[in-house]
Amino acid sequence: MEIILVDDCSTDKSSELVNQFINNHKKDNLEFIHIRNDSNKGISYSKNQGMDVMNGEFFFFTGSDDIVLPNRISEPLSYLQINQNVDIVYSDIEIWHESKGKKTKRGFPAEMSNENAFLFQLKRSYFWSGVLFARNKVKLNFDENLSSAVDYDWYFNQFFKGRNIHFIDPALVSYRMHSNNTSKNLTKSKGNVDRILHKYDFQKAYHQFLQNGDIKKCEVNLSFAWYYLSLGELDQSLDLLSLDSSNSIERLFLKGLIYVAYQDYDHAAKYFESILQKSNTMPECLNNFALCKVFNLNDIQGAKELLRKALQGNPNYLDAKMNLQILENALFDPSHLKFTDKPLRNTLTHIENYC
């Protein structure tokens, strides 16, 4: 085993502790490479440095604040040895909310499979470099010009280079949520996601998935409708949704969001209301319907009742909590109200300030 430690110009005793650890763990079958940057270069630069010098047949990453769980190596290694056609495998994660003392498994969507995972990745990122395990031959630099969403970009870069990417269900890493997580900067993250979605030939991928007989066309169109909404191309998103006549909750929710983006709150309200007739406790739908009442009818009291109901269902739901606080101020600014633009995960990633 080869362990490469990249110290990105730490200002504490990290470098000293690393050297002590290396001296105390010398073994014939264990090699350490210790790299120290003379200035702070960032996590992508540091990962790229490690890949530049590595010699192993397989590789994986571990961040300084991640906790490696049992089977972190053996389980994905076994998977790649059995599945020789797979280049990269990633696992689930255990999320540790330090301030709350809570540990929860994030979980993948029940409908997600290795065949359609790309389509789910278009909706939101399920891939994180801290849980990947890959063959040396697919090492690929991370984009050092992105301040966040770097793993999102790396996934698509690998996909469009023809890599076979699979996932497995076990949580093999405990990921600490704290005040310095880069993914919590929502404004920067959205800007970087927009750059990434313009970077690759997604139209080519769309036609490839349409020709895949194992995946339903309505599933492809729905995922790419989310893609176009992310780009702000609302007409294209609606056009794809019009190709399917079903009224699934996800499809109705997406239509509501499109009309919110058009600032047509009357139409948006009808879609959110129709969802609540099927599932009257869906917190993100209650939140969005409440804001439609504010913008379309100026019904502040009705909106507050809906937001309280959303918080009964999910007390940690930050959008509803903040929107309710705003509406309780008689001189509130409507521009501060926030629609939830994706269905919530089963497990919130950021309890204090999730995105």
Structure confidence at residue 350 (pLDDT):
44
Which tokens hold the place of 74? 């053996």
CA distance linking residue 320 with residue 349, whole number of Å: 16
CATH T-level assignment (fold) for domain 247-355: 1.25.40
Whether the per-residue pLDDT at 179 is higher than 80: the answer is no
Whether the per-residue pLDDT at 105 is higher than 90: the answer is no
Mean pLDDT of 281-290: 96
Structure confidence at residue 178 (pLDDT):
64
Q: Looking at mean pLDDT, say which of 96-105, 153-162, 185-194 comes out highest.
A: 153-162
149: alpha, beta or left, given left = phi > 0 and alpha = psi -120 to 50?
A: left
Whether the per-residue pLDDT at 67 is higher than 50: the answer is yes
CATH T-level assignment (fold) for domain 58-197: Spore Coat Polysaccharide Biosynthesis Protein SpsA; Chain A (3.90.550)
Find out whether 196 and 156 touch, Cβ atoms under 8 Å.
Answer: yes
pLDDT band, residue 349 (cuts 50/70/90): very low
Average pLDDT, the chain: 92
Structure confidence at residue 136 (pLDDT):
97
What lies within 8 Å, CB to CB, of 322 at 6+ separation is 338
pLDDT band, residue 143 (cuts 50/70/90): very high
Which tokens hold the place of 259? 């009309």
Whether the per-residue pLDDT at 280 is higher than 90: the answer is no
Structure confidence at residue 102 (pLDDT):
76
pLDDT band, residue 281 (cuts 50/70/90): confident
Domain boundaries, the chain: 1-41, 58-197, 247-355
